[in-house]
């Protein structure tokens, strides 16, 4: 189910709870964070969660919505910077999509969003479906339109398929650090792969998918 009562996003208490929840969920995963740990980290009591959100699950949905909204704003700004008076480049479009996941300083944000998106695909709720419809679908259409400008040889259906494959690949590759360790093991590299190296390899791979 979705939010029973939309929280006042301007409430300092609500902002503090969402921020605290995002920090803990990024570190431990939302399944491993108790309501008491969350309220202690936010400096509020358990009753505040019930009052503003109704339950922990609805607070999880609010964190998901806040995160999706922030990432969509980052991507929209990046796309706008590419538009005025210059021809779009395929790599620039892909990079603007990847950066909120793997850009410098965005790794935790990207990993949490990836986990939320994968969870939503398996266990969607009315609330998460609304977030996808309100934020992610319009953003997807903007990216598909941008790709259409630089990939005139692809049909609309091909663009949609490749966009969806891109989102799934990026989410699956960003949900944790297992991929980095796996790459290190398979390449006989004893250490984890650097974020920059991972990002550039992902961009190169996704660009090739649209060619």
| Domains recognised in the chain with CATH numbers | 64-209 (1.10.357.10)
Res. 2 pLDDT band, cuts 50 70 90: very low
Q: What is the 3-state secondary structure (H, E, C) of 12-24?
A: HHHHHHHHHHHHH
- Average the pLDDT over 22-26 and give the result: 93
pLDDT in tens, 187-197: 766 556 678 88
pLDDT more than 90, % of the chain: 66
Instruction: For residues 127-147, give the mean pLDDT.
Output: 96
Residue-wise pLDDT tens digits, 111-123: 999 999 999 989 9
pLDDT at 5 over 60: no
Cite the DSSP H helix spans in the chain.
Answer: 12-28, 35-42, 46-52, 56-82, 90-102, 107-122, 126-131, 137-150, 156-174, 178-186, 195-209
Q: Report the pLDDT value the prediction gives residue 58, as an integer from 0 to 100.
A: 93
Distance from C-alpha of 206 to C-alpha of 208, rounded to nearest angstrom? 5
CA 57, CA 110: separation in Å to the nearest integer?
A: 21
């Amino acid at each position: 189910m979705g939010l029973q009562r939309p929280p006042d996003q301007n409430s300092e208490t609500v902002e503090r709870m969402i921020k605290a929840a995002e920090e803990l969920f990024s570190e431990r995963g939302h399944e491993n964070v108790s309501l008491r740990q969350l309220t202690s980290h936010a400096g509020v009591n358990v009753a505040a969660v019930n009052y503003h959100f109704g339950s922990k699950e609805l607070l999880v949905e609010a964190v998901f919505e806040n995160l999706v909204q922030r990432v969509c704003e980052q991507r929209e700004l990046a796309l706008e910077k590419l538009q005025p008076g210059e021809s779009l480049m395929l790599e620039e479009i892909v990079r603007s999509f990847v950066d909120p996941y793997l850009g410098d300083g965005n790794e935790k944000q990207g990993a949490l969003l990836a986990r939320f998106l994968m969870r939503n695909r398996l266990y969607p709720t009315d609330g998460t479906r609304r977030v996808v419809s309100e934020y992610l679908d319009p953003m997807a259409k903007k990216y598909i339109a941008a790709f259409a400008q630089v990939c005139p040889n692809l049909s609309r259906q091909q663009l949609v398929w490749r966009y969806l494959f891109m989102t799934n690949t990026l989410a699956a590759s960003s949900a944790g650090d297992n991929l980095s360790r796996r790459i290190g093991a398979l390449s006989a590299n004893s250490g984890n792969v650097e974020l920059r190296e991972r990002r550039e390899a992902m961009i190169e791979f996704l660009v090739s998918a649209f060619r």
